[in-house]
């Protein structure tokens, strides 16, 4: 076996939605999953602290996994630390951005929603995407940090709280013309069936996973072939993650040494 795996990084389990898309593009290739679950959720933490933390965890995970490509499957981490990671690491780094551009193209009414963490919906980077690609659209931005925990609960085998989901989505339904919703956090696609069930009408749900997978396939080279369940790395051991990670083809997690 030559080369190393693709490393997928997120603050929690949200990046597993990107894992599925990458496997669709690169079937049979080795993947390692790393999450900074000790500091979940990222969306509520200070930017300067987060940049240092993201660099520290990603550098440790890259070293531990001996990966050939890093996929930052987290909108918050990407908008804050992507350029710093690219400066510090010698391997390709693929980032994540909210799917504003495709949403603007696909919305028939010109009114779509952005469902994300509080950090993502208010960050200048996100506002810049809206100005660049959706200037002629109405964009309803909704902070839904509570959905991160519901996605984590779902992966742990628990049923998400439908009342929490309903409250999080409620601001989207004030205008009946809204026909499209961008899932601007990689945790949210894990709840897609629950989100669709809570919607009062048929909605187009859009996320960045396929675009991330497509870019990963373009830049990744020398990726090892998968011969066993992929390795998973965490910053806090949590037995509730074992079954969920196994469902996505990963071995029980081991603690990542940050040094």
Structure tokens belonging to residue 228: 């066993």
Do the bridges between strand 111-116 and strand 254-255 make them parallel or antiparallel, or are there none, so unpaired? Answer: unpaired
Instruction: Please report the beta strands in 3-61, taking only residues with DSSP state E, as ranges in sequence order.
Output: 6-10, 31-35
3-state secondary structure of 184: coil
**SS3 at position 102:** helix
185 is catalytic: yes
For 168, the token pair is 């999080």
Of the CA atoms within 13 Å of residue 162, those in its CB half-sphere come to 7
List 35, 67, 74, 137, catalytic entry: 74
Side-chain-side CA neighbours of residue 41 (13 Å): 22
Helices 75-88 and 47-65: crossing angle in degrees, nearest 10, is: 60
Catalytic residue among 35, 58, 67, 185: 185
Q: What residues act catalytically? A: 74, 185
């Amino acid at each position: 076996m030559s080369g190393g795996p693709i490393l997928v990084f997120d603050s929690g389990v949200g990046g597993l939605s990107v894992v599925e898309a990458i496997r669709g593009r690169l079937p049979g290739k080795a993947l390692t999953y790393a999450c900074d679950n000790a500091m979940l959720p990222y969306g509520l933490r200070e930017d300067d602290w987060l940049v240092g933390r993201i660099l520290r965890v990603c550098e440790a995970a890259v070293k531990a996994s001996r990966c050939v490509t890093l996929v930052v499957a987290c909108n918050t981490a990407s908008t804050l630390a992507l350029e710093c990671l690219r400066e510090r690491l010698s391997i390709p780094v693929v980032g994540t951005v909210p799917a504003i551009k495709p949403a603007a193209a696909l919305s028939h009414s010109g009114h779509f929603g952005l469902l994300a963490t509080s950090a993502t919906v208010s960050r200048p980077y996100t506002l810049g995407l809206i100005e660049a690609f959706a200037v002629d659209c109405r964009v309803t931005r909704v902070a839904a940090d509570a959905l991160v925990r519901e996605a984590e609960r779902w992966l742990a085998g628990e049923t998400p709280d439908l009342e929490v989901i309903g409250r999080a989505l409620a601001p989207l339904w004030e205008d009946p013309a809204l026909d499209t919703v961008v899932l601007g956090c990689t945790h949210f696609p894990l709840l897609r069936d629950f989100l669709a069930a809570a919607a009062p009408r048929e909605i187009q749900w859009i996320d960045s996973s396929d675009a991330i997978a497509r870019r990963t396939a373009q830049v990744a080279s020398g990726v090892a072939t998968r011969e066993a369940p992929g390795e998973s790395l965490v910053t806090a051991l949590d037995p509730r993650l074992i079954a969920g990670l196994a469902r996505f083809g990963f071995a029980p997690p081991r603690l990542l040494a940050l040094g």
